[in-house]
């Protein structure tokens, strides 16, 4: 923070508004240039936050379930939760003109305050979808950089404005966790703007750089202060805190997860899950892509559309789905035979002891009780192979859920997570038991990024369930139930279900 303005010196400029929602203030209208009323198309992610009907501020939707705002909008530090049936605040999102019915009003049920910076996260009672959200900046703004600042605070002549305001602000100085800014042409932030965003555009994408924190409020209604400028709390450097509480900011998924399913009639179908990040029941309708010949084998998916098939005669076949059909590597077959001796993985004892990770590496548990690692180079037709570790005979199932991330299940249903660095040939981490009763699933597969799909038989059809483990927080993502989130019952008593493991990745 600039030595000219110490935090305590901003007593007249605190931006939390009593009985006022947060907004960008404009000084006298004739002094504002390049600012004014914000458009919904530009700022649909900005929220007006009313805290317990007593005060207001501004926030930013950074995830369908979370808004980021100023810690000063809420009292206290740490985690605060609303009493049963009594939300802590109300967030109106996607409504830059409060006189309309646009957007959505959602209750804020809990708040997580940062221990050091004037920022806080508000968890929404229900997710807000279909809103373009800004990326979180990874670098600090530079001195002289121009940012767009917005909020719902008072203006030069309106105590409780009903329209979101915005203006351009120039960075005057940069401190370790804050930046000092001055509005161009006399613009200033006012009470109610706390928690509003400071934004920049980089490579065609909007980035959230900072959050409104304090201001001298020059030009704001009923403020006689002549000093100009404000303090913004930087959001770069918040990664460890955000990873713990909003892990979906740090996952990237393809538009759809290819899921290959072998049906009882000996055919293979392709289903595509279009909402792997949050586990929503959203699919592209499945269609048949192959068969017969799959029931007497074990299919497992790899990267770039590759599907391996272990056969009863010991062949390991390599196929590749190119998005519209199977590649045809030779005139006689849709596959290449790349190895022999894989017949054990067609048996009940070993069919779940083989998997491929998001790098295309193959892991197996073999009769010697060891975990084996293999890598196949299709261009040179060469294999690499090593024994990784003994003691894996205790597991009846392994599934890769990332680069070297292996989930392993014991016959009594206990689940463990291990992370292996194949390049360094070392273990990065090992988790104790992280789950139980996983033996209810006859197939477990992954889209990558610690997303798991469990397939369980029911009396009339198989059902799929979604899980996601959060390694930074060492817990499972909330699903609204004690177990996984039910996705669908579209699996028609499937024999084998495998997802492409490179569909999602952690950032």
Task: Give the pLDDT score at 485.
Answer: 94
Please check whether residues 240 and 266 belong to one and the same domain.
no
Task: Give the pLDDT score at 157.
Answer: 81
Task: Give the pLDDT score at 46.
Answer: 96
SS (H, E, C) 55-111: EEEEEEEEECCEEEECHHHCCCCCEEECCCCCCCEEEEECCCECCCCCCEEEEEEEE
Domain boundary among 218, 245, 272: 245
Answer yes or no: are the C-beta atoms of 495 and 352 closer than 8 Å: no
Please check whether residues 209 and 275 belong to one and the same domain.
no
Average pLDDT estimate for 112-116: 94
Query: Of the ranges 188-192, 228-232, 502-506, which is most confident?
Result: 502-506
pLDDT at 203 over 90: no
pLDDT at 385 over 70: yes
Assigned domain for 1 exists: no
* Per-residue pLDDT band at 217 (split at 50, 70, 90): confident
Please check whether residues 366 and 497 belong to one and the same domain.
yes
Per-residue model confidence as pLDDT tens digits over 446-464: 999 999 999 998 766 788 9
CB atoms within 10 A of CB 384: 11
pLDDT at 18 over 70: no
Domain boundary among 245, 273, 294: 245
Please check whether residues 320 and 458 belong to one and the same domain.
yes
Task: Give the pLDDT score at 84.
Answer: 63
Answer yes or no: are the C-beta atoms of 56 and 15 closer than 8 Å: no
Strand partners, 236: none
How many angstroms separate the CA atoms of 433 and 446, rounded? Answer: 19
Please check whether residues 282 and 319 belong to one and the same domain.
yes
pLDDT at 1 over 60: no
Please check whether residues 211 and 268 belong to one and the same domain.
no
Average pLDDT estimate for 256-264: 94
Task: Give the pLDDT score at 2.
Answer: 21
Task: Give the pLDDT score at 39.
Answer: 57
| pLDDT, greater one: 254 or 483 | 254
**Closest C-alpha to 198, from 172, 231, 221:** 231
How many angstroms separate the CA atoms of 46 and 348, rounded? Answer: 54
* Per-residue pLDDT band at 12 (split at 50, 70, 90): very low
Domain boundary among 245, 267, 287: 245
Percent residues over pLDDT 70 in the chain: 90
Predicted TM-score of the model (pTM): 0.85
| pLDDT, greater one: 421 or 74 | 421
Assigned domain for 2 exists: no
Number of domains the chain is built from: 2
Lowest mean pLDDT among 21-25, 170-174, 269-273, 305-309: 21-25
Q: Is the peptide bond before 292 cis (omega within 30 degrees of 0)?
A: yes
Task: Give the pLDDT score at 414.
Answer: 98
How many angstroms separate the CA atoms of 232 and 376, rounded? Answer: 52
Lowest mean pLDDT among 107-116, 182-191, 233-242: 182-191
Task: Give the pLDDT score at 34.
Answer: 28
Structure tokens at 299: 């299919």
Give the pairing of strands 230-234 and 135-136: unpaired
Q: In which domain, by residue range, is 330 found? A: 250-506
Task: Give the pLDDT score at 80.
Answer: 76
pLDDT at 305 over 90: yes
Whichever domain contains 398, its CATH number is: 2.115.10.10
Assigned domain for 464 exists: yes
Per-residue model confidence as pLDDT tens digits over 88-100: 899 999 999 899 9
Assigned domain for 56 exists: yes
Please check whether residues 320 and 466 belong to one and the same domain.
yes
Task: Give the pLDDT score at 491.
Answer: 75
Assigned domain for 169 exists: yes
How many angstroms separate the CA atoms of 316 and 478, rounded? Answer: 38
Residues 6+ apart with CB under 8 A from 75: none
pLDDT at 125 over 90: yes
pLDDT at 312 over 50: yes
pLDDT at 389 over 60: yes
* Per-residue pLDDT band at 35 (split at 50, 70, 90): very low
Report DSSP state, residue 373.
Answer: E
Please check whether residues 236 and 257 belong to one and the same domain.
no
Structure tokens at 427: 């273990």
pLDDT at 325 over 50: yes
pLDDT at 158 over 70: yes
Please check whether residues 239 and 266 belong to one and the same domain.
no
Whichever domain contains 84, its CATH number is: 2.40.10.10
| pLDDT, greater one: 202 or 314 | 314
Assigned domain for 286 exists: yes
Assigned domain for 97 exists: yes
Average pLDDT estimate for 172-183: 96
Assigned domain for 229 exists: yes
Please check whether residues 259 and 201 belong to one and the same domain.
no
Average pLDDT estimate for 130-136: 93
* Per-residue pLDDT band at 76 (split at 50, 70, 90): low
Please check whether residues 212 and 350 belong to one and the same domain.
no
Please check whether residues 215 and 254 belong to one and the same domain.
no
3-state helix, strand, coil in the chain (%, to 5): 10, 45, 50
Task: Give the pLDDT score at 316.
Answer: 97
Structure tokens at 189: 């932030």
Average pLDDT estimate for 367-388: 97
Cα 64 from chain centroid (whole Å): 10
């Amino acid at each position: 923070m600039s030595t000219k303005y110490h935090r305590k010196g901003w007593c007249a400029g605190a931006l939390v508004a009593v009985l006022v929602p947060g907004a960008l203030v404009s000084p006298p209208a004739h002094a504002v240039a390049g600012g004014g009323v914000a458009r919904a198309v530009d700022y649909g992610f900005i929220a007006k936050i009313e805290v317990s009907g007593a005060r207001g501020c501004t926030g930013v939707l950074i995830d369908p379930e979370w808004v980021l705002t100023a810690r000063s909008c809420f009292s206290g530090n740490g985690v605060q939760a609303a009493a049963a049936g009594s939300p802590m605040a109300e967030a109106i999102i996607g409504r830059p003109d409060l006189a309309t019915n646009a957007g959505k009003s959602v209750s804020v049920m809990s708040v997580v305050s940062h221990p050091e910076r004037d920022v806080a996260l508000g968890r929404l009672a229900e997710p807000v979808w279909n809103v373009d959200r800004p990326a979180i900046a990874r670098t600090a703004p530079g001195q002289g950089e121009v940012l767009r600042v917005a909020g719902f605070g008072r203006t030069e002549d309106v105590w409780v404005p009903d329209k979101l305001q915005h203006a351009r602000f120039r960075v005057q100085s940069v401190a370790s966790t804050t930046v000092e800014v001055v509005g161009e042409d006399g613009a200033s932030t006012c009470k109610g703007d706390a928690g509003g965003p400071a934004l920049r555009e980089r490579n065609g994408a909007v980035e959230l750089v900072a959050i409104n924190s304090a201001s001298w409020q020059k030009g704001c209604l009923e403020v006689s202060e002549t000093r100009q400028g404000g303090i913004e709390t930087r959001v770069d450097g918040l990664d460890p805190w955000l990873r713990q509480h909003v892990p979906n900011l740090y996952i990237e998924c393809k538009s759809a997860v290819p899921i290959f399913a072998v049906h009882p009639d000996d055919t293979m179908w392709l289903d595509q899950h279009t909402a792997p990040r949050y586990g929503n029941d959203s699919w592209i309708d499945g269609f048949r892509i192959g068969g017969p010949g799959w029931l007497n084998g074990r299919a497992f998916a790899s990267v770039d559309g590759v599907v391996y098939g272990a056969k009863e005669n010991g062949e390991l076949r390599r196929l590749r789905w190119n998005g519209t059909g199977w590649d045809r590597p030779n005139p006689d077959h849709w596959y290449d035979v790349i190895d022999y001796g894989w017949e054990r993985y067609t048996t009940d004892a070993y069919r779940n002891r083989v998997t491929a990770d998001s790098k295309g590496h193959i892991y197996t548990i073999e009769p010697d009780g060891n975990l084996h690692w293999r890598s196949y180079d299709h261009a040179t037709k060469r294999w690499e192979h090593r024994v990784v570790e003994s003691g894996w005979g205790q597991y009846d199932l392994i599934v890769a859920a990332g680069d070297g991330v292996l989930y392993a299940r014991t016959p009594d249903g206990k689940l463990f997570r291990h992370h292996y660095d194949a390049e360094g040939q070392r273990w990065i981490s090992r988790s104790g038991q992280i789950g139980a009763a996983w033996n209810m699933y006859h197939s477990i597969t992954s889209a990558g990024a610690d997303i798991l799909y469990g397939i369980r038989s029911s009396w009339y059809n198989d059902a799929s369930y979604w899980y996601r483990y959060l390694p930074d927080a060492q817990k499972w993502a909330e699903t609204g139930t004690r177990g996984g989130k039910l996705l669908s019952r579209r699996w028609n008593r499937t024999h084998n279900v495998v997802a492409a493991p490179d569909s999602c990745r952690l950032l």
